[in-house]
Amino acid sequence: MGSLETERTTTGWAARDPSGTLSPYTYTLRNTGPDDVFVKVICCGICHTDLHQAKNDLGMSNYPMVPGHEVVGEVVEVGSDVTKFAVGEIVGVGCVVGCCRNCRSCDTDNEQYCLKKIWSYNDVYTDGKPTQGGFAGSMVVDQKFVVKIPDGMAAEQVAPLLCAGVTVYSPLRHFGLMGSGLRGGILGLGGVGHMGVKMAKAMGHHVTVISSSDKKKVEALEHLGADEYLVSSDTEGMQKSADSLDYIIDTVPVFHPLEPYLTLLKVDGKLILTGVINTPLQFVSPMIMLGRKSITGSFIGSMKETEDMLKLCKEKGLTSMIEVVKMDYINTAMERLEKNDVRYRFVVDIAGSKLDQ
């Protein structure tokens, strides 16, 4: 194993202002150390958060910014203390690339909740250099935040699992919702939602998709295997389904009322928020009190959960529904994503793209 002592440069596609338009950007990778893995990127999924960050929707973007946190690549070189990975292996990198390692969250394998976590991009690493994401030729990542991709899983299929997949898996696991026979709801049928349907069905749940229109009904029922489909504006249908669900995973990343969905929950039911929304949500307290219901949130998942989620997907044959694009299509893909015009996740073929033009 070679140790990584010198800085390298790579080319990615960066946003330079809140327009969110991406263009080629060559930069120096952060200094690497004995625990680092040098990864040549094969592909990277496009998450709705990439859109938020590129356009500064959350008011905390720093430019130039190379987005991308659903990264699959090949190990090119490893540091002298790396024990988990070898050159030539296919690995994944998700939303987080650093943590303090000594807080309660870190000590309990919940490093995604560490208050000092370091994001894959739009953050600053411990050496003071900005972090940049997976819409690039290569990355250097601490081995703790790299996961091995099980043999036989296609890189482009795995990429969305590293965010969308674990975002659904983590709350199902944490809240004890992995047993068969449960009745679950998936609110919103996008990148996260479609994986929610697949995972919940693989666990033996009766799954209801809840959407704002019937445009995706055939896909939900016939292609994804959902058991029922509810249109949120269908008052009669929503009333008939009241008090029927053990949980709802709410994947919607824009403002929406919560009360219509709280009525669907059984006593002790959980509404689990996973979408990033930058405006306050509202509800009246009796909607929760009169059923001992919970509104809670969940954010991606830990590295341990990511490993276990990938094993489950390999075992059950779960894959994401994707549209593969080249890097020169990235801005069009972001525009289409903003309009929800994708079934259900864009994945950028980094290895097959010319990054410098």
Residue-by-residue DSSP string for 92-128? EE-SEEE--SSSHHHHTT-GGG-TT-EESSSEE-TTS
Q: Which of 129-133, 277-281, 283-287 has the lowest mean pLDDT?
A: 277-281
Asked if pLDDT for residue 139 goes beyond 60, the answer is yes
Structure tokens at 96: 């987080």
pLDDT at 321 over 70: yes
What is the band of 5 on the pLDDT scale with cuts at 50, 70, 90? low
Predicted local distance difference test score (pLDDT) of residue 66: 98
Q: Which CATH class is domain 9-163+302-307+321-349?
A: alpha beta
182-223 pLDDT, tens digit per residue, is 999 999 999 999 999 999 999 999 999 999 999 999 999 999
Given this model, what pLDDT does residue 127 score? 86
- Interaxial angle between packed helices 303-316 and 191-202, expressed in degrees from 0 to 180 and rounded to the nearest 10: 70
| pLDDT of 253 over the 90 cut | no
pTM above the 0.95 mark? no
Cα separations in angstroms, 56 against 130, 154, 320: 16, 32, 28
Measured from the Cβ of residue 284, the count of other Cβ atoms closer than 10 Å reads 10
Dihedral sign of CA atoms 36, 60, 251, 269 in order? positive
**pLDDT classification of 142: cutoffs 50, 70, 90:** very high
**How confident is residue 7, by pLDDT bands cut at 50, 70 and 90?**
low
The token pair at 356 is: 């410098």
Of 325, 351, 248, 331, the residue nearest 45 (C-alpha): 325
Q: What is the mean pLDDT of the chain?
A: 95
Q: Rounded mean pLDDT of 49-58?
A: 94
Instruction: Report the alpha-carbon distance of residue 135 to residue 142 in Å, rounded.
Output: 18
**Per-residue pLDDT band at 1 (split at 50, 70, 90):** very low
Radius of gyration of the chain (CA): 20
The β-bridge relationship of strands 123-124 and 130-131 is antiparallel
The ranges assigned to domains in the chain are 9-163+302-307+321-349, 165-297
Distance from C-alpha of 65 to C-alpha of 354, rounded to nearest angstrom: 19
Fold of 165-297: Rossmann fold (3.40.50)
How far from 319 is each of 1, 164, 173, 315, 343, CA to CA, in Å? 33, 11, 19, 11, 13
Mean pLDDT of 161-165: 95
Give burial (CB, 10 Å; 0-12/13-18/19+) of 354: exposed
Q: How many CA atoms lie within 13 A of 158 on its CB side?
A: 26
Percent of the chain's residues with pLDDT above 70: 97
198/144 Cα distance (integer angstroms) = 28
Say which residue, 104 or 277, is predicted with more confidence: 104
Beginning with the edge strand found earlier in the chain, give each strand of the sheet holding 265-273 in spatial order.
228-231, 206-211, 183-187, 245-250, 265-273, 294-297
Main-chain dihedrals φ then ψ at residue 136, nearest 5 degrees: -155, 165
Q: What is the pLDDT of residue 6?
A: 59
The Cα–Cα gap between 46 and 92 comes to 14
